[in-house]
Amino acid sequence: MAGPTKNAPPSGATDPSRPVDFIRAIINDHMRTGRFEGKVHTRFPPEPNGYLHIGHAKSIFLNFGIAQEYEGLCNLRFDDTNPSKEDQEYIDSIIEDVRWLGMDWGDRMFFASDYFEKTYELAEELIKKGLAYVCDLTPEEVRQYRGTLTEPGRESPYRNRSVEENLELFRRMRAGEFEDGSRTLRAKIDMASPNMNMRDPVIYRILRATHHRTGDDWCIYPMYDFAHPISDSLEGITHSICTLEFEDHRPLYDWFLEKLGMFHSQQIEFARLNLSYTLMSKRRLLELVELGVVEGWDDPRMPTIAGLRRRGYTPEAIRKFCDRIGVSKKDSMVDLALLEHVVREDLNERCPRVMAVLDPLRLTIENYPEGLVEEFEIPNHPDRPEMGTRKVPFCKTLYIERDDFSEDPPPKFHRLAPGKEVRLRGAYLVTCTGVDRDPRTGETVGVRCAYDPASRGGDAPDGRKVRGTIHWVSAEHAVEAEVRLYDRLFTVENIAAEAERTGRDYKDFLNPASLVVLRGCKMEPSVKDAPAYSRFQFERQGYFCVDPKATSPGRPVFNRTVQLRDTWAKIEKASAGKAAGPGSETAAEGKGASPSEGDHGVEAREITIEDFTKVDLRVGRVLEAHAVEGSDKLVRLLVDLGEPRPRNIVAGIRKAYPEPVGLVGKLVLVVANLRPRKMRSGLSEGMILAAGSGDHWRICTVDGDMSPGAKVS
């Protein structure tokens, strides 16, 4: 199995117009120089000691994606060298998750345990070459002898045993003659190396644990640092792509392959995914499962692929997110809001719309005929007629959202209130004529309305304007459902950093409101028998998915995937800021705002060199460019600034670039240290420099071969 698997030369993998990250740049260089004979063979090597999370998804898409781009191959290999923490459940879940993400490894699913005999033989070969020895130091003594970052280690007193003695002891280790932990096999390298990983690392330990595949055949197991390069070499892996914490292990990886004279794979490291408000440690995630903090590995609050699937994420959204953040050599924290934004964009395109009332308030139409039931044909998607329509029943008594009614409405409240007229989505215009209250508590239990029979379909024949539209469900036909509102599992962005800063346990930052369960919700009947994992947009609420575990026939349970943008919450926040006064934190947020477009005739203030140096100008490469829907001025750009992920930038250049796709690949100048701005079209994370006047502005471009992120002065 040694050597790279042959494949055809790549077509388009080195297209110069395509943005190239540092990993693909290395592979392209190998293609040019003929290393690996122009072949690419990668692998995804999970440890079966937990469920995969979204960080693994990044690695999956990277390894399988590179293999596909270069017309190569990618293996799925389980690193099953630690049987005390491994389980068949984890193996099954990993296979399911990788397949769900759309990956295909053909007949190339392997296990490190496939090579246990060969790995043992190679360990004996190191002993015979005088490059490995059996050590009797205890784990604590090994740590003491290892030294520190500033002091060299000390040689083990057993380091100079003869080859014959080491072979005999190692074979007796395999035969089970010694207690667990009493002896190890160590590589003989350099106890004074500045790289701690090279100070005679342990490569075999005694561990009596039943293995999920080999049973009790072995009582010694190789360490990951030894098994990993051997597995890569035996499978002919050309590019062994792993996360940044293995960068200091690469010299050891290379040492084993060189000393054993094996096919030499190229290890390449990239920064792992760190997501705000999220933990990626499998040890911590397992603890949350074992303590019952979450329902299980597939709890929709978990960052596991199984949890994201159950929450309603799609493989396409996860892939797009991983593409957006790209790959980097520098660790950074990716904002969870970006993932939610990408998921929202994906679900917006694919999800049918339905009406669901989560906090029901009864609405009775007093002048609607008793016993009459009408059906309204409503589009399943406002922008995709090919998704068809559905018939929604309508009768005298309906349910509406409780917060869509206010007896004492604040300014700009365009929903239902006494004497106020609103549109019932797709049906009629109604005016509130009265309120029903609980005689004991005085609580509002219902509202009464009058409808305009001539407004069928939601438009008034006399042309009067009605600003508010609310959704509804027929009380007679409603399906009762449970809805689970999921939110972030933690209350702070960087859990590990905050725990270290405060000296508190990471569990202290769990969000007590990460799950709110609503029962007695009312749904339109079209969702009654929706199969597991069906996704919908509940109009004006968010995106929801049918839970595959809790749903029973006729009693659906929905998990909230992600919220819609809440326009009313923004208005309330702005109103609260005005009411709070100039000394409040909310009011202070507006101090750095730019003047409005109407502020003309203000003389420009002269600035100093020091002022100008505060502007962080950088070169960026345009990766995507699209017109903003509904705007004749704005273009949305995705710009690579050499950071872990590209930035979204909205620019008013549509008239100069009616076909914005022509900007893709251009090098532009970006003001990189502006505070992100929330716009109707989304978040804008910078400013593109442009020249012009009026509505005609052309962007400033850069000639030459500049790297994204280069500073401009």
What positions carry a catalytic annotation?
47, 272, 282
Task: Decide: 217 and 165 in contact? Cβ < 8 Å.
Answer: no
How far is it, in rounded angstroms, from Cα 515 to Cα 538? Answer: 18
Task: Decide: 326 and 65 in contact? Cβ < 8 Å.
Answer: no
How far is it, in rounded angstroms, from Cα 228 to Cα 367? Answer: 76
Orientation angle between helical segments 54-69 and 22-33, nearest 10 degrees: 30
User: Interior CA angle at 431 toward 426 and 432, to 5°?
Assistant: 120
The token pair at 597 is: 């477009």
Task: Decide: 76 and 105 in contact? Cβ < 8 Å.
Answer: yes
User: Interior CA angle at 662 toward 656 and 665, to 5°?
Assistant: 125
Task: Decide: 13 and 39 in contact? Cβ < 8 Å.
Answer: no
Task: Decide: 174 and 194 in contact? Cβ < 8 Å.
Answer: no
Q: How far is CA 671 from the centre of its chain?
A: 27
List residues bridging with 523 in a β-sheet.
356, 479
Task: Decide: 242 and 250 in contact? Cβ < 8 Å.
Answer: no
How far is it, in rounded angstroms, from Cα 216 to Cα 279? Answer: 35
How far is it, in rounded angstroms, from Cα 352 to Cα 343? Answer: 15
Alpha carbon separation from 545 to 471, 523, 557, 559 (Å, rounded) = 19, 13, 8, 5
- The DSSP element (H or E) to which 620 belongs, if any, is strand 617-627
How far is it, in rounded angstroms, from Cα 613 to Cα 54? Answer: 39
How many Cβ atoms are within 10 Å of 554's Cβ, its own excluded?
Answer: 10
Question: Could you give phi then psi for residue 29, rounded to 5 degrees?
Answer: -65, -40
How far is it, in rounded angstroms, from Cα 416 to Cα 407? Answer: 9
Say if residue 81 is exposed, middle or buried (CB neighbours under 10 Å; 0-12, 13-18, 19+).
buried
How far is it, in rounded angstroms, from Cα 538 to Cα 542? Answer: 6
Task: Decide: 85 and 212 in contact? Cβ < 8 Å.
Answer: no
Task: Decide: 50 and 280 in contact? Cβ < 8 Å.
Answer: no
Task: Decide: 543 and 562 in contact? Cβ < 8 Å.
Answer: yes
Residues in the chain: 713
Task: Decide: 53 and 304 in contact? Cβ < 8 Å.
Answer: yes
The token pair at 639 is: 């710009």
How far is it, in rounded angstroms, from Cα 507 to Cα 391? Answer: 48
Residue located via tokens 């399943």 = 380
How many Cβ atoms are within 10 Å of 195's Cβ, its own excluded?
Answer: 14
How far is it, in rounded angstroms, from Cα 293 to Cα 291? Answer: 6
The token pair at 684 is: 């804008």
How far is it, in rounded angstroms, from Cα 315 to Cα 61? Answer: 10
